[in-house]
Structure 1
Amino acid sequence: MTIPDGSYYNKYFPGNAIKMPPPLSDGQVTFDDGSPATVKQYAHDVATFLMWTAEPHMEARKRLGYQVFIFLIIFAGLMYFTKKRVWAAAH
């Protein structure tokens, strides 16, 4: 397979040659925390950001879910002991 001059390889494009250059390349950004400046890291960061923008209240929902779960466990325990006390005379 030959790629014409001024074109770039893209396995998903018909003919595998496209005029648009790759949007990301290694070394475009430097991170203060020492993260690697690779295309894989950039893609991970972009995907994480897009997930955060799509689900801005996810953390609050998860926290509420844990609180409800704890409440239900406590409530089930209270109901169990209440049932035992109410039906104790029947046995």
Structure 2
Amino acid sequence: MNEPLQELLTEHIPIQYYDNGWMMYHPYFHPNHMKKYSDSDCEYLCKYYEIDGVELMSLALGRPPKSIVQKIHILKKNNLYEHYKNLNKHWL
């Protein structure tokens, strides 16, 4: 993204945070919001979530923190978390 656009987005769309400190949706930082998670995204998320935490995963995948937490919950509920964590197809 070019500098003038970055300045425009961050100056005219303030960055807001939830009470727990997580950043709310911001178009500059979360360009993948509402997009489908790819297999690569799921693998990366499951491999590094426990190491990097919600905030870094949010910025790495370009999605709001709540989206990250919801996806982790869904993957664990459907018994896919360990599958993606051990996949080694896109990330080692």
TM-score (norm 2): 0.27
Larger Rg: 1
Structure number with the higher strand fraction is 1
Q: Which has the higher helix share?
A: 2
TM-score by length of 1: 0.27
